[in-house]
């Protein structure tokens, strides 16, 4: 019961934080486009993804922190927690230095990723190095946040972030409005990153006053075990970055840097749903899954996994179908020009990638806490190899659509292989049922997208706000109706029905 309560609290505050973050990102991006133009916005999108790939220098330490903390936190072993946190503090300081060094080493060649941008070479390198400094600074205190995540208290950090985020946004917007300078904006971002992490670190120290006392060295055997996990996670993290953080770089190198800016206008609303799934999977239930794996039976773990799979299918299908039908009107409302629209085929494959990524979140989340790092790295390598090969070949032939097809192939391969690994090595079950479920979910969302798009295309509106609302209602209704009809008698549907009914009754009593 405590685990469920913690998960619900984490999810609620994660969603609140997501709402604040979405509004902040749209506000900043809108002002950036209007004040700095598409060239700066495209450069921002490109270097954001370059630095996301560069953060592979974390080498899987974040996941190793959380995984190794589950057991001592469940047993209230403060000494072990202090030993682990002392080790991770040193590791993150090294990571900050390594990240900066790698970023600096790449600086002389970074301009090869940039096409059709009028900025000087020195300016491009300056902007890039400011991104590198910002990323390096973020590692100084971030290891402490992992402690609260592992302790199923991520809702506390969500509250802190909700308090900090408006201040960060105001500072950045004021800098943009008063200076019209991309460099000044990036300098302000470095400042707020440092101060925000300092505040989050202070909160962790307040909740765990015993954390910094008598920091003993972790025994040699246990250090070796942790570093073995980190070694395996490094390969997995590197492969994952190749999948998730190369689209913009490939678009810039194979197509055009300005297209990165146009795609980023779509990836921002798409990213809302992606981050929503992330917040629920990792911030909301990830720690509870880790706790469950070390305390509950295999049967219980499987039942919870399938219930989570159902929840993420609903989230994924709503996200994919609604984005597919509504994103064009949204971009027209937001940016007020057809110049920023992308082709329907690009939107379709992006929505398909969004769907398969979201429905796999329970699988990836439980793999993160399963301890199967040694084997999981080979799955990641296979997926990343396919991603690069297919994306480059098809990207050169058919452009952006080909790059995104490579991403889809990676998600599909990883889904099949990770499912086999989890069910056979951790849950001691055959994966056949899960494969059938995955095929049904993919087939179901394709039917939902086709039906919703066919219905929406029958209605043409001059007013884009009306179009956005009507298309949204149609697409959401299609998803809800078809999902309820097809899953009404399942255990997962009854579980969430009882949960919602209980919440409503408690609210009405109050």
71 plus 172 within the same structural domain:
yes
Coil/strand/helix, residue 427: coil
> Which single residue is written with the structure tokens 């989570």?
308
Q: Find, among 136, 248, 200, 188, the residue nearest to 28 by Cα.
A: 188
**Alpha helix positions (H), 180-285:** 182-207, 220-244, 247-250, 257-278
Within 10 Å of residue 508's Cβ, how many Cβ atoms? 7
Q: The tokens of 94 are what?
A: 């090294």
Of the listed ranges 189-198, 306-315, 497-506, the least confidently predicted one is 497-506
CA quadruple 418, 420, 426, 430: dihedral sign: positive
User: Does some domain include residue 88?
Assistant: yes
Q: Is residue 11 part of a domain?
A: yes
Tell me the pLDDT band of 70, cut-offs 50, 70 and 90.
confident
Q: How confident is the model at residue 424 (pLDDT cuts 50, 70, 90)?
A: confident
Both 493 and 364 in one domain: the answer is: yes
195 and 323 together in one domain: no
Q: Is residue 124 part of a domain?
A: yes
Asked if 46 contacts 260 with a C-beta cutoff of 8 angstroms, the reply is yes
Round to whole Å and give the CA distance between 179 and 185.
8
Same domain, 39 and 137: yes
If asked whether residues 217 and 313 sit together in one domain, one would say no
Residue 244: inside a domain, yes or no?
no
Tokens of 135: 């990323």
Band of the pLDDT at 64, cuts 50, 70, 90? low
Is residue 270 in a domain? no
Domain end position, chosen among 224, 259, 281: 224
Lowest mean pLDDT among 2-11, 319-328, 486-495: 2-11
459 by DSSP, 3-state: which? coil
Judged on CB neighbours under 10 Å (0-12, 13-18, 19+), 42 is: buried
The number of CA neighbours under 13 Å toward the Cβ of 12 is: 8
For the segment 205-221, the average pLDDT, to the nearest whole number, is 74
- pLDDT value of residue 1: 46
Check: CB of residue 146 under 8 Å from CB of residue 81. no
d(CA 510, CA 508): 5
199 and 341 belong to one structural domain: no
* Cβ atoms < 10 Å from Cβ of 154: 28
Domain boundary among 224, 245, 264: 224
The tokens describing 326, both together, are: 């509504």
Q: Report yes or no on 273 lying in a domain.
A: no
Angle, helices 344-359 vs 361-368, to 10°: value is 40
By the 10 Å C-beta count (0-12 exposed, 13-18 middle, 19+ buried), 488 is classed as exposed
Domain hosting 495: range is 296-510
Torsion sign, CA atoms 409, 412, 416, 421: positive
Rounded Cα gap, residues 309 and 315, in angstroms:
10
The rounded distance, in Å, linking the Cα atoms of 82 and 79 is 5
Q: What is the pLDDT of residue 469?
A: 94
Kindly state the average pLDDT of the residues 415-429: 85
Q: Which of 392, 269, 244, 271 is nearest to 340 (CA)?
A: 269
- Is the pLDDT reported for residue 96 higher than 60? yes
| pLDDT band, very low/low/confident/very high, at 285 (cuts 50, 70, 90) | low
* Residue 21 belongs to a domain: yes
Share of the chain above pLDDT 70, in %: 85
| More confidently predicted of 119 and 282 | 119
Q: Tell me: pLDDT of 354 over 90.
A: yes
Residue 412 within a domain: yes
Q: Indicate if the pLDDT at residue 116 is higher than 80.
A: no
Band (250; pLDDT cuts 50, 70, 90): confident
Residues 115 and 43: their CA atoms lie apart, in Å, by 10
Q: Is the pLDDT of residue 180 over 60?
A: yes
Q: Which two tokens stand for residue 225?
A: 């075990």
**Residue 178: predicted pLDDT:** 92
On the question of pLDDT at 55 being above 50, the answer is yes
Same domain? For 29 and 118 the reply is yes
CA distance 72 to 271: 35
Domain count, the chain: 2
Q: With 0-12 CB in 10 A as exposed, 13-18 as middle and 19+ as buried, what is 509?
A: exposed
DSSP state of 57: G
Hey, CA dihedral for 376, 377, 380, 386, is it positive or negative? negative
The pLDDT, as a whole number, for residue 356 is 92
* pLDDT for position 485: 92
* Mean pLDDT over the full length of the chain: 82
In order of 198, 314, 355, 489, the CA distances from 492 in angstroms are 41, 11, 19, 9
**Are 185 and 328 found together in one domain?**
no
- Both 59 and 187 in a single domain? yes
Query: DSSP label at 251?
Result: I
What pLDDT sits at residue 427?
79
Could you tell me if 28 and 121 lie in one domain? yes
| One domain, residues 319 and 195 | no
Distance of CA 384 to the CA centre of its chain: 17
Domain edge (last residue) among 207, 224, 241: 224
One domain, residues 337 and 463:
yes
């Amino acid at each position: 019961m405590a685990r469920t309560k913690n998960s619900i609290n984490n999810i609620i505050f994660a969603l609140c934080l997501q709402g604040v973050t979405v509004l902040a990102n749209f506000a900043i991006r809108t002002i950036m486009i209007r004040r700095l133009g598409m060239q700066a916005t495209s450069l921002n999108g490109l270097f954001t993804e370059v630095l996301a790939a560069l953060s592979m220098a974390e080498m899987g330490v974040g996941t190793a922190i959380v995984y190794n903390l589950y057991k001592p936190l469940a047993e209230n072993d403060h000494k072990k927690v202090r030993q682990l946190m002392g080790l991770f503090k040193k590791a993150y300081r090294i990571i900050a230095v390594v990240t900066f060094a790698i970023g600096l080493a790449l600086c002389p060649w970074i301009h090869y990723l940039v096409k059709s941008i009028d900025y000087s070479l020195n300016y491009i390198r300056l902007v890039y190095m400011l991104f590198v400094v910002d990323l390096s600074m973020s590692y100084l205190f971030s290891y402490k946040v992992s402690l609260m995540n592992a302790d199923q208290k991520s809702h506390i950090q969500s509250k802190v972030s909700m308090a900090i985020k408006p201040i960060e946004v105001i500072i950045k917007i004021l800098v943009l409005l008063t200076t019209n300078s991309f460099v000044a904006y990036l300098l302000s971002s470095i400042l707020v990153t440092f101060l925000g992490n300092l505040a989050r670190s202070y909160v962790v120290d307040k909740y765990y006053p015993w954390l910094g006392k008598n920091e003993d060295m972790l025994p040699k055997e246990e250090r070796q075990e942790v570093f073995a996990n980190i070694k395996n996670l490094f390969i997995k993290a590197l492969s994952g970055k190749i999948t998730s953080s190369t689209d913009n770089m490939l678009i810039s190198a194979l197509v055009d840097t300005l297209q990165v800016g146009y795609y980023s206008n779509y990836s921002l609303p798409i990213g809302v749903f992606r981050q929503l799934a992330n917040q629920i999977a990792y911030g909301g239930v990830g720690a509870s899954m880790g706790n469950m794996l070390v305390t509950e039976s295999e049967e219980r773990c499987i039942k919870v996994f399938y219930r989570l799979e159902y929840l993420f299918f609903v989230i994924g299908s709503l996200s994919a179908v609604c984005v597919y039908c509504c994103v064009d009107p949204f971009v027209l409302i937001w940016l007020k020009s057809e110049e920023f629209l992308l082709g329907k085929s690009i939107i379709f494959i992006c929505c398909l990638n969004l769907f398969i990524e979201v429905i796999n979140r329970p699988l990836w989340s439980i793999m993160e806490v399963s301890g199967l790092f040694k084997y999981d790295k080979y799955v990641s390598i296979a997926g990343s190899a396919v991603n690069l090969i297919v994306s480059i070949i098809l990207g050169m032939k058919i452009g952006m659509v080909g790059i995104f097809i490579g991403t889809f192939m990676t998600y599909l391969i990883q889904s099949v292989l990770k499912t086999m690994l989890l069910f056979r090595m951790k849950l001691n079950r055959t994966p056949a049922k899960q494969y059938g479920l995955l095929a049904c979910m993919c087939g179901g969302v394709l039917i939902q997208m086709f039906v919703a798009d066919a219905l929406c295309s029958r209605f043409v509106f001059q007013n884009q706000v009306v179009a956005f609302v009507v298309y949204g209602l149609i697409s959401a209704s299609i998803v809800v109706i078809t999902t309820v009809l097809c899953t009404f008698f399942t255990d997962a549907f009854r579980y969430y029905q009882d949960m919602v009914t209980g919440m409503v009754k408690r609210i009405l009593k109050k």
